[in-house]
Chains A and B, each alone.
Chain A
Amino acid sequence: MSNEYDGSWLSVGGEYQDLIKGLCASDPRLRQRDPKARWQGIQWPRDDSRLLVLELEPGGSFGSPMEQTPLSLRQYLEGQSVSADPNGRTVYVLEGQSPEYIAVIGSHFKLHPSFFSENDRTVVFSYDPRGESDGMVLPSMAMTREHITLPFFELFVLPENIRNTYKLYCNKTGRHIGATRMWRGFSEVGILRRKCSFWRRQRENGKGWDCTFVLRYPTTTLD
């Protein structure tokens, strides 16, 4: 993967990577991956991203999730381009990001790449002039975007053998896990920083729509 500050880190080569490079001037955050994640040695790209597709069934419920590889997803979306039901509803759920999935989904739906890059950011704050922050967008901008990225926090019980330090990170994403010390003892509870992104678009000539969730990995290993 390229280390150039041209946005090529986010997607594999092709039409969508060209789009990202072109948009770097609009959104400088696209130029580089979160420096904190690089500093932490977080693997990129990962090969354990998962994408599930759920289609609305006639009964009004979504059917069982269909797992897709980047290749099968491309074929699926090409099929949708030819014979998509204008009233159909399809949900794409991506857990963990990878340049291959980003290239397929991004180029098919012509998504603004900030949808993916905002979800990737793990830095909390930074005053490094060459670094990146995870700042908000102007409220007026939020109205014009097709996606949202919502930060939140998840509480979970820390294993007993690591309840003695503030330096806890998710091994897969580098997300910091807040430990709390009170009255000279560490709390059993860890506070995990998380984010979810959501994009949606109405289908042409019908009531149908497509939406995509980008979710982060669940925490299974800590550093």
Chain B
Amino acid sequence: MNKSTTVPVSVHPFQSGYLDFIPHDRQLATRAGPPRHSMLGDVCFYLQHHSSILDLDSLDCTSVFLARIIASHYLKQADYLRALASDIAWRLTRKDEVVFGTRAVEAQWSDVQSLERRMSEYCEALEAVLIQLRIPFEDPNTATAQRWTDVTTDFQFLYMQFRSIRQRVVALNSAMTGLAGMAGNRQSVKEAKSSKALTFLGLIFIPLAYTASLFSMAEPYGPGYEKFWLYFAISFPLIALLVGIFYMVDTGADWHDWPWPAANTNSHFTKAAKTGGAVV
């Protein structure tokens, strides 16, 4: 395996870490919180400082700390992911923020795909937690939560939150696919305009070349001879005629009523557009 560079890191929890989940009266009495630099440190902190509020006769009492630390991490993660989804959605509502460059849109589409894949993974991880803690896959009923040690409502709430965020990301993914389509259309229009400009240039130079070859530009029509003016007298009206025809054809294609084939009123799509019906 190619080992990459090893980088020492000093871990700073996201937004200073999770909220202490101990009841407020205990927090006020203790005036201390978990160190948040390692799970070992956090577990030992809660065992040493707050185990007296557990029902120590219960076999699963210490797992309450573990489950609540994990739930608190999931909650911070949900905050982050919700903010991320909101930021993407917000930028899509600001046209000036949207980049229509094909590469940029493709990168963004790929990023949202990645986010959607990871949202599925996060939901599956939460399902694994629910199964092992024997918590029903139901929506939470906060009215039934009686004790602070009850993690059932917490995890059901988290599962609901993550599913909700996943739905938002799925919707964003569809929006990104639409944006990719818009960017593709823009690209097509841009290329069509370039072709049009080239065509226009051709319309100018083709009559010149045609007229020149017609008269072979030899005596008496060549440069410096008495009938050289005929070259311009024929070329310029020919240019004007061709440009005029080009203009009529080009603008006519945008008129629904224009009887050119490109916008034929009898065409399949034009009929559907006029009636507001679906194209069958």
Contact = CB atoms under 8 A, between A and B. Distances in A.
A186 B114 CA distance: 13
Contacts of A183: 88, 91, 99, 108
B9 A222 contact: yes
Contact of B47 (A62, A171, A187): A62
Contacts of A207: 57
A106 to B, nearest CB: 20
B11 A89 contact: no
A219 B11 contact: yes
Given A137-B131, A200-B62, A220 B44 contact: no
A73 interface: no
Interface in A165-198: 167, 171, 178, 180-184, 187, 189, 191, 194, 196, 198
B67 A150 contact: yes
Interface residues of B, number: 61
Given A41-B3, A171-B6, A200 B80 contact: no
Contacts of B107: 181, 184
Interface residues of A, number: 68
Interface in A1-31: none
B129 A200 contact: no
Nearest to A197: B66
Given A64-B48, A143-B134, A40 B1 contact: yes
B74 interface: yes
B63 A156 contact: no
B67 A50 contact: no
A50 B39 CA distance: 13
Interface string B116-129: 00100110110111
Contact of A180 (B7, B84, B121, B133): B84
Nearest to A148: B132
A150 B76 contact: no
Interface string A139-175: 1001100001111111111110110000100010000
A77 interface: no
Interface of A: 39-41, 50, 52, 54, 56, 59-65, 89, 91, 93, 95, 124, 136-137, 139, 142-143, 148-159, 161-162, 167, 171, 178, 180-184, 187, 189, 191, 194, 196, 198, 200-202, 207, 209, 211, 213, 215-223
**Across the A-B interface, the 9 shortest Cβ-Cβ residue pairs:** A155-B14, A218-B38, A60-B52, A148-B132, A157-B12, A151-B125, A62-B47, A152-B70, A95-B40
